[in-house]
Amino acid sequence: MVETGDNGQRQIARDSLFVMAELRVDGLPGDHRVRVRNLSAGGLMAEGVTRIQRGQVVWVNVRNIGWVEGSIAWVQDNRCGIAFREEIDPKVVRAPITTGESTPRYVKPPLGALDPAHLRKI
- pLDDT per position as a tens digit, 4-14: 445 445 555 66
Average pLDDT of the segment spanning 92-112? 66
* CB hemisphere CA count around 31 (13 angstroms): 11
CA distances (Å), 91 to each of 49, 51, 63, 95, 122, in order?
A: 24, 30, 11, 6, 47
Q: Which amino acid is at 121?
A: K
CATH number, span 3-90: 2.40.10.220
Domains of the chain by residue range: 3-90
CA angle 78-80-86, nearest 5°?
A: 155
- pLDDT per position as a tens digit, 28-81: 899 999 999 999 999 999 999 888 999 999 999 998 999 999 999 999 999 999
Decide: helix, strand or coil at residue 118: helix
Looking at the whole model, is its pTM more than 0.75? Answer: no
